[in-house]
A and B are shown apart, each in its own frame.
Chain A
Amino acid sequence: MRHVLFRLEKDRYALPLSAIREVVVAPESFTRVPRSPKAMKGVMNLRGRVVPVVDLRELLEVGPGPVGGPGRVVLLDRGRRELGLLISEVDGIESLEKIGPPAPRASLAVKGLARLGAIPVTVLDPDALDATVARAFTTK
């Protein structure tokens, strides 16, 4: 299955291509969402639509660290709405077939681990990502 490969700093991640609407350059600033969990970066204006964006690093709890440069926003297609994920950089599209079990204690949003040559890639599950965001709001 074809996946979009991207990075959070040095770590490599992937999401199914079919789950992604587009990738845009992150805006200079986000409008903060009141009373929201830490992972909620804010909302952005995407051609007249207000799109919520989460900081993927915070959501997956992979430890703090700057998102170098302006970063990119991956827009997940959630039917009539979108969910933005703030990441460092997109690497490209690759076919990932063999997806093994996730690392122990990985976030629920992680589907499993794949390999691209010698490089490990964490494959994320779009539905679980969405659910993790909702849970972050309700358990805040």
Chain B
Amino acid sequence: MAGPSWDTSRYLTLFGGEATEHLEALGKDVVALERGATVALVDSMFRHAHSVKGMASSMAFEGTAKLAHLLEDLLGTLRADVARADAAVADVILQTVDALGLHVKAAVASEPLPDHGALVTKLSELNAALAGKPPPVAPSAPTPTPVSQPEPARPVAAPGPSADASAPPRFSLKLKINPASNQPGVRGFLAYKRLSTLGNVFDLKPPLDDVKAGRVPQGTITLELESDQTEEAITRTMRTVADVELESISLLVKAAPPPPPSSESDPNRVVGQEPARTIRVRTEVMDQFLDQAGELLLATSRVRELTRSVPQAQRPALDEAVNRLHLLVKGLHDKVMEARMTPIAVITDRLPRAARDIARRRNREVELIITGEDIELDRAIVDELADPVLHLLRNAIDHGLETPEERKAGNKPPRGKVTIAVRRQRDRVVFELSDDGRGVDVERVKALVVERGLLTADHLQTLTERETLMLLCLPGFSTARDITDISGRGVGLDAVRRAVDQVGGTLEIETTPGRGTTFRLSLPLTVAVVNLLLVGVGDEVYGLPIGKVGGVVETARERLSMSQNAPVLQFGQSVLPVHELSALLEVPPDVQPPALVPFVVVDGDDGRLALAVDRLLGQREVVLKGLSKPLDLVAGLAGVTILGNGQPVFILDVARLVTA
């Protein structure tokens, strides 16, 4: 298959994905570099640059490979004296990372690669300058502290290049997962991932798939790690993995080195050498899996529904068969959902870099602390959140944090702090982004809302503090005194809220004047299965997401009070505006409306409201399907599902129903 004519285009997507991952990791490392340069950090950067170089040259992107090569050289030089990695050097590295990013983008789009001649010169000059002062180190890969060991004779007559003397040393590790950990699988997998950033993992026992699934007997994992890190560095890294303890680590006497990078037909491929037993799957394929599994689930409910008309005598056997089918299909669906789970790190990994850039441009000093990034969510939710989270971060730095001078005047440390904390809470994931800045001026928010005619002063009176803060999310609302390049680009908090709603999450804001603001996103683990309250309007049935329903009141229409000529419903302490669902949806209601009308209380964009319906039809857990053209043009629909009787039912997006 090798040869000059091999078609690389099939591998473009793969190249794009992998190279981007390396570049993102590199960007993250640069930010860490500015906080304090260590040899381990420069090594990590070196490895990423090296990987990009290798991938680019195998795809014959010479320009990209050259740029990566120069970066690798610079990092190699830097390794000799990491103290010289100052802000100026970091800037050049970041520029190179960005340039490489553009290359990768262009390559994937099959466009000509951009020219970065100036950068090439700059890199070479910087490298020469850095290498110039002390005696230059060998321009080869960073040589690890040499561990001199006699090379044992190889028992097997393996022809090929002489034993690879530069192969890094191997360690034998024994890990123990805390028996109290509620996610042994995740912990074990994380430990594996951390270790594999240090070098190559071999002989993992139990195998990775079992570790991921939490099948770890006695919580003990053994493995061998080939790494140029010191024992201390490995021990230190392992300390960062919660709930996993490094029980023992020892340097192995170099055994027979692995065979040289094999030609394809090498029959002696060492078994058990599994860098990672994972495969990359295109996301569309995963989406299709989920679609199909969801449809299987619906089809099974349909079969169950049909069995009800079968004569009683034949029922037991049939029921048993259907139950078994249902279990199998449910199992398959669960597995597909599991395979779609993605750690939130996919979006938080790029934030340190973004925070640095925003802070620089806005003359802020910021420290970003992220915890819980290993928590996993459905890929669709993670994708949907990428932009909103970045927006919240911009907001926090740009509007939340004060300038260093202002902070000093307010007796705060000059460097502001932004914390992102992700945690599991029962069947949801809570994502919190907090800053220790000036907080939101609630009175100012109120004044602006009235000034812009978004709400009347009377209406404001009825709002709780929490509801008042949510006004920040009204479309077109912004408290920014000036429109900045960073935060004033029209995508406001309303877009954040919309995205959170879209995935079935909720958004809450808390603020303390002078102390800071917290945005709290509560997200479902998966999007595909939603819990609905089914309601009837005329001949039609609609689903309201349970998460949005605050309660139901049954009362006669005549008993509603009136406020400014519009009916309102007394609900607990508050008075809610009433909407007829039939009018909102433009469908005819029952000709003979019920005497006692069910009013469903739901969360809208600016507070709660009540929807009058004809009938309540109970709760149902359903598989949500997305809307395709032209149904996606209808404002107020969140999706569609098929009930057990085969009837398609629309799921409503309550907030957009009343605003759009």
| Cβ contacts under 8 Å, A29 to chain B | 539
Whether the pair A31, B650 counts as a contact (CB closer than 8 A) is yes
Whether the pair A133, B648 counts as a contact (CB closer than 8 A) is no
With A32-B587, A81-B629, A134-B629 known as contacts, the answer to whether A50 contacts B635 (CB < 8 A) is no
Whether the pair A137, B647 counts as a contact (CB closer than 8 A) is no
With CB as the reference atom, state the residue of chain B lying closest to A40.
Answer: B630
A33–B648 Cα distance when bound, in Å, is 10
Chain A interface main SS type: mixed
With A50-B640, A50-B648 known as contacts, the answer to whether A34 contacts B587 (CB < 8 A) is yes
A134–B585 Cα distance when bound, in Å, is 19
With CB as the reference atom, state the residue of chain A lying closest to B297.
Answer: A48
| Cβ contacts under 8 Å, B636 to chain A | 34-35
A73: Cβ under 8 A from any B Cβ: no
With CB as the reference atom, state the residue of chain B lying closest to A136.
Answer: B630
A36: Cβ under 8 A from any B Cβ: yes
Whether the pair B647, A31 counts as a contact (CB closer than 8 A) is yes
A45: Cβ under 8 A from any B Cβ: yes
CB 8 Å contact bits of B626-649 with A (1 = contact, 0 = none): 001111011111001010001111
Q: How far is the CB of B197 from chain A (nearest CB, A)?
A: 38
A130–B584 Cα distance when bound, in Å, is 26
Question: Looking at chain A, what size class is its interface with the partner chain?
Answer: 20 to 34
CB 8 Å contact bits of A71-93 with B (1 = contact, 0 = none): 00000001011000000000000
Whether the pair B628, A34 counts as a contact (CB closer than 8 A) is no
A56–B417 Cα distance when bound, in Å, is 60
**Interface members, chain B 604-660 (any A CB < 8 Å):** 625, 628-631, 633-637, 640, 642, 646-650
Q: How far is the CB of B652 from chain A (nearest CB, A)?
A: 8
| Cβ contacts under 8 Å, B467 to chain A | none
With A44-B648, A80-B628 known as contacts, the answer to whether A35 contacts B640 (CB < 8 A) is no
The number of A-B residue pairs with CB atoms under 8 Å apart is 61
A33–B640 Cα distance when bound, in Å, is 11
A16: Cβ under 8 A from any B Cβ: no
A80–B628 Cα distance when bound, in Å, is 9
Whether the pair B634, A34 counts as a contact (CB closer than 8 A) is yes
B374: Cβ under 8 A from any A Cβ: no
B299: Cβ under 8 A from any A Cβ: yes
**Interface members, chain A 52-70 (any B CB < 8 Å):** 52
B298: Cβ under 8 A from any A Cβ: yes
With A48-B298, A48-B299, A50-B642 known as contacts, the answer to whether A31 contacts B649 (CB < 8 A) is yes
B295: Cβ under 8 A from any A Cβ: yes
A43: Cβ under 8 A from any B Cβ: yes
Q: How far is the CB of A29 from chain B (nearest CB, A)?
A: 8
**Interface members, chain B 537-557 (any A CB < 8 Å):** 539-540, 542
B586: Cβ under 8 A from any A Cβ: yes
Whether the pair B633, A32 counts as a contact (CB closer than 8 A) is no
Whether the pair A43, B630 counts as a contact (CB closer than 8 A) is no
With A34-B637, A43-B640 known as contacts, the answer to whether A137 contacts B630 (CB < 8 A) is yes
A80–B284 Cα distance when bound, in Å, is 12
| Cβ contacts under 8 Å, B642 to chain A | 45, 48, 50
Whether the pair A33, B650 counts as a contact (CB closer than 8 A) is yes
- 4 A-B pairs with the lowest CB-CB distances in the bound complex, closest first: A34-B585, A81-B628, A137-B633, A48-B295
- Which residues on B are within 8 Å of A, measured CB to CB? 295, 298-299, 539-540, 542, 584-587, 625, 628-631, 633-637, 640, 642, 646-650
Q: List 18 A-B contacts (CB under 8 A).
A: A31-B648, A33-B634, A33-B650, A34-B650, A35-B634, A35-B635, A36-B634, A43-B640, A45-B646, A48-B298, A49-B295, A50-B625, A50-B640, A50-B642, A80-B628, A133-B630, A137-B633, A138-B633
Give 11 new A-B contacts, CB below 8 A, not counting A31-B540, A50-B648: A31-B648, A32-B540, A34-B636, A43-B640, A45-B642, A45-B646, A48-B642, A52-B631, A80-B628, A134-B633, A137-B630
